Amino acid sequence: MAKRKRAVHQSAMPLLNCINSGRLTRAEVAKKLNLDVQNVTNWLARGIPAKQLPDVAALCELSTDEYRAQAGLGVKVKTRPNRPEDVMAAHGYHALPTFLQQYILRKIERLLHTYNAVPIGMRKKLSPPKNPDQYRQWESEIESVLLRQAVFKNGEPQNQAS
C-alpha cells in the first residue's frame, strides 16, 4: 500500500508509525477491531475515538499512556524517579556477588520502610539521593527526623523510657 500523503491527525501518529514500519496494515487493524478499512483511514485523517484508543494502543504493542505520550496528547509516561533498581544498575550492582546483592536489597527495603514512617510533609526534604554513596547520610537524616518526632510529639517532650 502506498504511503499516506495527506495530513495525519496527531492521535493517529503512533498507529501510522506501526503501519509504515510494516508491523500492521490498515486491513489487519480493521480486522482485529471488527471495523471497515475505511474507519481506519478516517482515523488517520480525523483522529482515533477515545473509546478505541486502548485497543489501538494494544495493537501497536504500547500501553495507553505510552501511546498517548507518543501521540503528544499531553500525557507523560509515569515513571518512578530514583528507583533503587535504576540507581543500583547504574553503579555496578549486578557485578556484585549474590550475597552482597541480597544484603543491599534488604538494607534498602528497611530504609524505605523507615522512610515511609516519616510524616508526608517532611518527606520532600528527605527525598532519596541519586548517588548510592549518600544513602548512609540519608539514613541518618531519616533517623534523626523520626527521633525528633518521637521525643517531641504534639509539641511536648515524651517519656523516652518507653
What pLDDT, in 10s, does the model give residues 75-129? 555 555 456 566 666 666 677 788 877 887 788 778 777 777 777 777 667 777 7
Distances (CA, A) of 139 to 10, 58, 68, 143: 46, 42, 38, 6
What one-letter code names the amino acid at 117? A
d(CA 48, CA 98): 49
Average per-residue pLDDT for the chain: 75
Give percent above pLDDT 90 in the chain: 0
Per the DSSP assignment, residues forming a β-bridge with 152 are 157
The confidence score (pLDDT) of residue 60 equals: 85
Could you tell me the pTM of the whole model?
0.44
Sign of the dihedral through C-alpha 94, 95, 97, 103? negative
CA distances, 42 to each of 8, 12, 48, 68, 69 (Å): 10, 10, 8, 19, 21
Q: Which domains does the chain have, with CATH numbers?
A: 10-70 (1.10.260), 84-157 (no CATH)
Cβ neighbours of residue 7 closer than 8 Å, sequence gap 6 or more: 45
Whether residue 45 has pLDDT greater than 80:
yes
Nearest CA-CA partner of 132 in 158, 79, 78, 96: 96
Alpha-carbon gap, residue 162 to 151, rounded angstroms: 11
The mean pLDDT of 146-152, rounded to a whole number, is: 68
